[in-house]
Amino acid sequence: MAPPLLSVEGLQVQFHTRDGIVRAVDGVDYSVGRGETLGIVGESGSGKTVSSLALLRLVPPPARIAAGRVMFEGEDLLAKPERELGAIRGRRIAMVFQNPATSLNPIYSIGSQLGEILRWHEKLDRAAAEARILSLLDLVGITDPATRLRQYPHELSGGMKQRIGIARALLCNPALLLADEPTTALDVTIQAQILDLLADLRQRLGMAMVLVTHDMGVVARMADRITVMYAGRVCETASAATLFSAPRHPYTRALLESMPRIDHRYTGPRQLLPTIAGRPPGLLNPPAGCRFAARCPEAMAECRTTLPVETVVAPGHSVSCIRHGSQGIAA
């Protein structure tokens, strides 16, 4: 089997604060094959955004990448000199950001900010860069691209800005697209359009994609495989079909149960949607054992003292839960 395009091993990102070290990402592993879409799902604060920024060493201070390897096309991105990493950022791995309103520079025209990137990486002259940008704007479904080139971000709608953000990411034909909640800031109809666009582009261009989101609906629609994160660690990774039909980790199951389903009647006097009681642990001094133990309906005494290790339970399906076949290390 060929090595995956991207493999993240033991990634740790820590925030050094006055009160101590916050372990925002604490030993995360996942991999993405060529042309594959991996969905990373988790709630706010689960470390999904920080871990994707860490791939390109873009975590903002005071965050620090404390350990791990990010193997991409046979090289460890975390060990590369800054200058060489610059040739990968935006060229081999590109990002689409959550908020299109703030991820474009307000004082440069669309043409000039996209052109700058293209000229930097590809050494194209002005005319060639403009031709490439026009064809990309057309590809991402922007009407009248020639006019948009001269416009500024504030003159465009949110959906249009996100399309431009996507076009920016595609400028140099990257092998991997990191999309961090690309639809969260958009309204529902635009969300659907952007997701369709991403799915279509991925197929046409043969890109791999890491799609970070808190929205199960989005990953169900887009991802080949899904990684579920909780409190800075991976709970479960499986193919999309398996994860939805046979989830094993109690957190994954609870998450799925708390999604409203159109084909399900909720029982009980008020027909309430099930929720997960409690809140995620603080990551300043995370609990010794399983991070989910305090909220887990299946937790036993051992869960609070043993750190589960991600273990393959079936082909392509791995889980971090000692109740469901994982190894553990006594903490």
Partner 1 sequence: MGMLNYIARRLLFSLALLLGVSVILFALINAIGNPIEILLAERPGVTEEIIQSVSQYYGLDGSVTDRYFTWLGNLLRLDFGTSIIYNQPVGDMLWTFGLETLKIQIPGILLALALAVGASVLAATRQYSRIDFGVISGAMLGHSLPGFFFGIILILIFSYWLGWLPSYGAYSTRNLLWDSELADGLWHMVLPVGMLAFFNTATLTLLLRSSLVDVLRQDYITAARASGLPERRVVMGHALRNAVIPVLTYLGILFGLMLGTAPVTETVFTWPGLGALYIMAIQQLDYPLIMGETMIITVMLVGATLLTDIAYVAIDPRIRLG
Rounded to a whole number of angstroms, the CA Rg of the chain reads: 21
Span from 25-33, 107-115, 209-217, 231-239 in contact with partner 1 (CB under 8 A)? 107-115
Q: Does 102 bind partner 1 (CB under 8 A)?
A: yes
Rule CB under 8 A: say whether 31 interacts with partner 1.
no
Among 97, 230, 251, 292, contact with partner 1 (rule: CB under 8 A):
97
Q: Quick check: 81 binds partner 1 (CB under 8 A)?
A: no
Residue 60 or 269 with smaller CB distance to partner 1: 60
Question: Distance (Å, rounded) from C-alpha 302 to C-alpha 292?
Answer: 13
Peptide bond before residue 260 is cis, with ω within 30 degrees of 0: no
Instruction: Answer yes or no whether residue 7 interacts with partner 1 by CB under 8 A.
Output: no
120 binds partner 1 (CB under 8 A): yes
Q: Give the interface segment with partner 1, choosing from 115-123, 222-230, 254-262, 308-316 (CB under 8 A).
A: 115-123
Q: Which of 6, 11, 54, 88 binds partner 1 (CB under 8 A)?
A: 88
Restricted to residues 133-152, the positions that interact with partner 1 (CB under 8 A) are 152
Nearer to partner 1, 64 or 279 (CB): 64
Nearest to 66 by CA among 13, 7, 24, 10: 13
Looking at beta carbons only, is 56 or 142 nearer to partner 1?
56
Tell me the residue type at 227.
Answer: T
Instruction: Report how far residue 306's alpha carbon sits from residue 321's, in angstroms, rounded to the nearest whole number.
Output: 10
158 binds partner 1 per the rule CB under 8 A = no
241, 208 in Cβ contact below 8 A? no
Q: Residue 23 corresponds to which tokens in the numbers above?
A: 């372990």
* Among 85, 240, 91, 53, CA closest to 176: 91
Q: Per-residue DSSP letters for 30-63?
A: EEE-TT-EEEEE--TTSSHHHHHHHHTT-PPTTE
Minimum CB distance to partner 1, residue 170 (Å): 11
Nearer to partner 1, 110 or 234 (CB): 110
- Count of residues that interact with partner 1, criterion CB under 8 A: 36
Query: Which of 175, 180, 173, 171 has the alpha carbon at shortest distance from 207?
Result: 175
Binder among 41, 56, 140, 322 for partner 1 (CB under 8 A): 56
The smaller minimum CB distance to partner 1, of residues 107 and 188, is found at 107
Identity of residue 12: Q
Out of 103, 213, 237, 242, the only residue in the binding site for partner 1 (CB under 8 A) is 103
Among the listed residues 10, 20, 105, 309, the single contact to partner 1 using CB under 8 A: 105
Q: What count of other Cβ atoms lies within 10 Å of the Cβ of residue 327?
A: 12
116 sits near partner 1 (criterion: CB under 8 A): yes
- Asked if residue 162 binds partner 1 (CB under 8 A), the reply is no
User: Cα–Cα distance between 251 and 248 in angstroms, integer?
Assistant: 9
Measured CA angle at 258 (ends 184, 196), to 5 deg: 35
How many Cβ atoms are within 10 Å of 152's Cβ, its own excluded? 15
Q: Does 193 sit near partner 1 (CB under 8 A)?
A: no
User: Considering the complex, what minimum distance in angstroms separates the CB of residue 121 from partner 1?
Assistant: 6
Identify which of residues 9 and 122 has a Cβ nearer to partner 1 in the complex: 122
Taking phi first (over 0 means left), then psi (-120 to 50 degrees means alpha), and beta for anything else, what does residue 74 get? left
Q: Which SS3 state, helix, strand or coil, does residue 210 take?
A: strand
- Tell me if 80 contacts partner 1 by CB under 8 A: no
The candidate with the shortest Cα–Cα distance to 172, out of 89, 53, 84, is 89
Q: Which residues bind partner 1 (CB under 8 A)?
A: 53, 56, 58, 60-62, 82-83, 86-91, 94-95, 97-99, 102-109, 116-117, 120-121, 152, 154, 165, 168, 171
